[in-house]
Structure 1
Amino acid sequence: MDGVHARPATRADVGALSRTLGRAFLDDPVMCWMLPDAEARRRKLPKLFSSMTRHQHLAHGGVEVVPDGAGGIGGAAVWAPPGAWRATRAEELRAMPGLMWAFGRSLKRGLVIEEMMKKAHPEEPHWYLAFIGTDPDVRGKGYGQALMNSRLDRCDAEHAPAYLESSKPDNVPYYQRFGFEITGEITPPGGPTLIPMWRAAR
């Protein structure tokens, strides 16, 4: 893991980190359900992540990136700090044009999932991992681990719990290695199951 280090993202990173997350989520079950056409997904996901990062998360200081050593971003994690996981009305309005462009008629599905996720979301203050992803070209090189450890070290320093929803069952054991435990299931009508996971304060 030499040279693989997470750092806070800046506004200048948003384009590159959004492209990386777009590539990382290309085969994500929820994104495939929302945008079944692979070419549309490839085109639209970077815009979606850009809109959500820029308008909902960057200002809260929970976005981190790992540079790939070639001038790009190899991995990115988007966290919301305690008390800030729920987007404000203003943040939602600013992000909405990007969401509408990305999802079009599928936006209703997204709103259904979002509502179910909000209902399942813990009330206790915690760090919330909204998205984490690495470019497929650098998978297995420690980028995800660097991102997870960076924020979880802070969680431990603050004695704060952490929460996420895994949209891929295959990723559950990975998160369990970092101390997350399954707390239930979120299954939208006709859609894929999300697995909420909680990491107690330590």
Structure 2
Amino acid sequence: MGRVCDGGLVAAVDVRPPNKFDVKRLAAVLGRAFHDDPVMAWILADDTRRAKGLPRLFAAITRHHFLSGGGAEVAVRDGEIGAAALWDGPGRWKQTPSEELRMLPTMVLAFGSAMRRGQQVVELMKKQHPEEPHWYLAVIGSDPAVRGGGFGHALMQSRLDRVDAEHAPAYLESSNPANIPYYMRFGFEVTGEIVLPDGGPTMTPMWRAPR
């Protein structure tokens, strides 16, 4: 059901799993969402390269990892994808060697000479990743054109309802300090920091205890 806004009816945000035909649109949305992200800007410093590389990155990880795991969701209004979230269920956050192999050509195309920096970030994240079984929010982002329209909130609530039904914990790393208060409103708490090398930005691990 829609909601009334300024005398008109605004369509509700629907949350659903993506299919293979959604991958390109989903990846484009996440690419725009993360274009100004501090960590992504550190890995891919050139704006043009980042604008081309990020959609390729998100398409690869969605197509070869998240679709089969059932943790991907998109928030849609009037048929348009406004935001996407990529979750891993308990025990599934590590990509398999075969998944990594299938992603490799696209990753090389997306990152080029910045592959080393990208790998550094991944390895640092792995070192601090909790061992306890949990739901892992790897990626969530809204298209800047619709940010503030309830897309991200709908995605968070949709998956956290399932997390709570399973009485499971959840984990994420915030790559942007500005987003930490947002995640805290959903019950996540800061557990440390991941400092990137060579004067890079800091990522913030956050944990949400079972409800």
For 1:119, the equivalent position in structure 2 comes to 127
For 2:161, the equivalent position in structure 1 comes to 153
Can you give the 5+ residue segments of structure 1 that lack an aligned partner in the other structure?
Answer: none
**Equivalent pair of 2:14/2:77 in contact (CA under 8 Å):** no
The CA deviation at 1:9 is 1.2
For 1:47, the equivalent position in structure 2 comes to 56
For 1:5, the equivalent position in structure 2 comes to 14
RMSD: 1.0
Q: Secondary structure at the match of 1:172?
A: helix
Greater alpha carbon shift after TM alignment, 35-44 vs 192-201 = 35-44
Greater alpha carbon shift after TM alignment, 142-151 vs 31-40 = 31-40
Runs of 4+ in structure 1 off by over 6 angstroms are none
Name the CA distance, whole Å, in 1 between partners of 2:137 and 2:106.
21
Please say if 1:89 is aligned against 2:118: no
The CA deviation at 1:5 is 2.0
For 1:29, the equivalent position in structure 2 comes to 38
For 1:105, the equivalent position in structure 2 comes to 113
The CA deviation at 1:152 is 0.3
Can you give the 5+ residue segments of structure 2 that lack an aligned partner in the other structure?
Answer: 4-11
Compare CA radii of gyration and give the structure with the larger one: 2
Name the CA distance, whole Å, in 1 between partners of 2:176 and 2:196.
15
Q: Secondary structure at the match of 2:194?
A: coil
Name the CA distance, whole Å, in 2 between partners of 1:121 and 1:105.
26
Greater alpha carbon shift after TM alignment, 31-40 vs 16-25 = 31-40
Q: Which amino acid aligns with 2:108?
A: M
Name the CA distance, whole Å, in 2 between partners of 1:193 and 1:96.
26
The CA deviation at 1:179 is 0.1
The partner residue of 1:175 within 162, 179, 183 is 183
Name the CA distance, whole Å, in 1 between partners of 2:106 and 2:113.
13
Q: Secondary structure at the match of 1:195?
A: strand
Q: Secondary structure at the match of 1:15?
A: helix
Name the CA distance, whole Å, in 2 between partners of 1:131 and 1:96.
19
The CA deviation at 1:145 is 0.2
Fraction of identical pairs, as percent = 59
Name the CA distance, whole Å, in 1 between partners of 2:109 and 2:49.
11
More strand by share: 2
TM-score (norm 1): 0.97
Please say if 1:78 is aligned against 2:120: no
TM-score (norm 2): 0.93
Name the CA distance, whole Å, in 2 between partners of 1:151 and 1:19.
22
